[in-house]
Amino acid sequence: MKEIPVEKNQEFEVTVEDLSYQGRGVAKVDHYPLFIDDALPGEKILAHVMKASRNYGFAKVVKRYNDSPDRQLNTESAYLQTGIAPLQHLKYDAQLRFKQGQIKELLHKAHLDQITVAPTQGMAEPLHYRNKAQIPVRMVNDQLETGFFRQRSHQFVPMHDFLIQDPRIDQVLEVIQTVLREFEVPAYNERQHNGVIRHIVIRRGHYSGQVMVTLVTRSRKLPAGKQIAQQIMEHCSDVVSVYQNINSAKTNVIMGRDEKLLAGKAQIEDQLNGIKFAISPRSFFQVNSLQTEKIYQYVAQTAKLSGEETLIDAYCGIGTISLSLAKQAKQVYGVEIVADAIEDAKRNAALNGITNAEFKVAAAEEQFAKWAKAGLKPDIVVFDPPRKGLETKVLESTLQLMPQKIVYVSCNPATLVRDLKFLTENGYQVTGPIQPFDQFPQTNHVESITVLSRS
């Protein structure tokens, strides 16, 4: 077994060579990689080893001898420590290049160098973009506090300004915290699995300005729940809906299956590209409205819809892509495994007077097989899968349907490249460059759109 050239608590002078896909600096000691937070390529640093495993280690910066020209100065360490904004120390144009580079590198490793990647489409204002916040709540010095956890730890960091959230969300959060303190509602204690408030979830319609608050509780009973809801609404006139969501499990999953409306409306409304959407507490709705609109416009543009096409939207959720494209297509079919989401999609179609969209509750591969058997011949299939990408069964059932065109909206370059390898080996070719979009500025996540045509 090869010897590890570093030990915990040792210090080394190193030069950072690269950035990992998570945005950490990468430096080497005798070819052994160290991953270092808040370190950028070209910076010479004194690194303190925090952990050393067989193949790689983690270190922290003790001293930096020079700054990279790509370093964003005057940053706030709490955003890096908690992982809220792991790239905030990198200038924005460099963040966009980093995200384009991630996809290029993965294509190169998969021997798909013939596929090109366009420059990342960024935001004019890459802060305060999130329309949804999920904030942990804990007791600190016998007082309920909102905040976040340090990365790779259970250490709670009290915070009130979250940098990447809509500033109004931060303001509403402060009011909720004050009201909960006044009513002396205890926060959740993870170790003892007691206390009441686990998380506060806030959504704000980017265009409507309507705010929904969900108090996630460990216990079914929320003392003075209705009075708390009324107080929040009295202090914040834009809060139109207050829910309690019950999550009694010992889990890091944020929301439970049960919820009850404490005050106000059952849903809030917002829109994307002029299409209205009703949003429930557990609805999946993209958190960056401005970039989502750009992405859907790009999908429509690359799909080149003439009004005669039949289109399938796999992983359709509450119908955001389906309904955005319905007015430019002949018929749209959406499929989604979450029954509540399909109910929302049908409601959203009715809300917009859209009659050429049909929605099914099913796993994509099962519904694809049914449609193939029924003789449905879609012109276009749009995929917007979760981070795990497309399962083999979904890819195989897509080959049965034989769409002329596939538009793949990806939130994970690694699974995108894996799926492109399958599709290009099975009769499809990528037309034009992959177009990355910066849906989550200040973080390492990258969305992209790839268009494929049947050879």
- d(CA 63, CA 49) in angstroms, rounded, equals 13
Q: Could you confirm whether 236 is annotated as catalytic?
A: no
pLDDT confidence bin for 231, thresholds 50/70/90 = very high
Average pLDDT over residues 3-31: 95
Q: Choose the weakest-confidence range: 83-87, 342-346, 388-392.
A: 83-87
Average pLDDT over residues 358-374: 95
Higher pLDDT, 290 or 157: 290
Residue 380: is its pLDDT beyond 90?
yes
**CA triplet 65, 71, 75: central angle to 5 degrees?**
100
Secondary structure of the chain in the HEC alphabet? CCCCCCCCCCEEEEECCEECCCCCEEEEECCEEEEECCCCCCCEEEEEEEEECCCCEEEEEEEECCCCCCECCCCCHHHHHCCCCCCCCECHHHHHHHHHHHHHHHHHHCCCCCCCECCCECCCCCCCCECEEEEEEEEECCEEEEEEECCCCCCEEECCCCCCECHHHHHHHHHHHHHHHHCCCCECECCCCECCEEEEEEEECCCCCCEEEEEEECCCCCCCHHHHHHHHHHHCCCEEEEEEEECCCCCCCCCCCEEEEEEECCCEEEEECCEEEEECCCCCCCCCHHHHHHHHHHHHHHHCCCCCCEEEEECCCCCHHHHHHHCCCCEEEEEECCHHHHHHHHHHHHHCCCCCEEEEECCHHHHHHHHHHCCCCCCEEEECCCCCCCCHHHHHHHHHHCCCEEEEEECCHHHHHHHHHHHHCCCEEECCCEEEECCCCCCCCCEEEEEEEEC
- pLDDT at residue 122, as a whole number: 98
Residue 152: is its pLDDT beyond 80?
no
What percent of the chain has pLDDT above 90? 91
Q: Exposure of 61 by Cβ count < 10 A (0-12 exposed, 13-18 middle, 19+ buried)?
A: middle
- Name all contacts of 193-198 with Cβ < 8 Å and 24+ positions apart: 193/218, 193/250, 194/218, 195/139, 196/222, 196/223, 197/137, 197/144, 198/136, 198/137, 198/247, 198/254
Average pLDDT over residues 59-64: 96
Average pLDDT over residues 187-205: 95
Q: What is the pTM of this model?
A: 0.93
351, 411, 415, 454: the catalytic one is: 411
Average pLDDT over residues 139-144: 94
| 346 neighbors 415 (Cβ within 8 angstroms) | no
Question: 10 Å Cβ neighbour count for 104?
Answer: 17
Question: 10 Å Cβ neighbour count for 369?
Answer: 17
Average pLDDT over residues 416-424: 97
CA pseudo-torsion sign 352, 355, 356, 358: positive
- pLDDT at residue 1, as a whole number: 60
- pLDDT at residue 74, as a whole number: 82
pLDDT confidence bin for 150, thresholds 50/70/90 = confident
Please state whether beta strands 258-264 and 268-272 pair in parallel, antiparallel, or not at all (unpaired): unpaired
Please give the mean pLDDT across all residues of the chain: 95
Q: Which domains does the chain have, with CATH numbers?
A: 11-71 (2.40.50.140), 132-272 (2.40.50.1070), 288-454 (3.40.50.150)
Chain-centre distance of CA 325, in angstroms?
Answer: 22
Q: Which two tokens stand for residue 2?
A: 């090869």
348, 354, 356, 362: CA torsion to nearest 10: 0
Residue 323: is its pLDDT beyond 90?
yes
- pLDDT at residue 332, as a whole number: 98
- d(CA 283, CA 318) in angstroms, rounded, equals 7
Residue 77: is its pLDDT beyond 80?
no
pLDDT confidence bin for 168, thresholds 50/70/90 = very high
Residue 316: is its pLDDT beyond 70?
yes
Nearest residue to 271 (alpha-carbon basis) of 286, 252, 256, 254: 286
Average pLDDT over residues 188-208: 95
pLDDT confidence bin for 99, thresholds 50/70/90 = very high
Question: Which residues, 6 or more positions from 53, have their beta carbon under 8 angstroms from its beta carbon?
Answer: none
- d(CA 281, CA 135) in angstroms, rounded, equals 14
pLDDT confidence bin for 66, thresholds 50/70/90 = very high
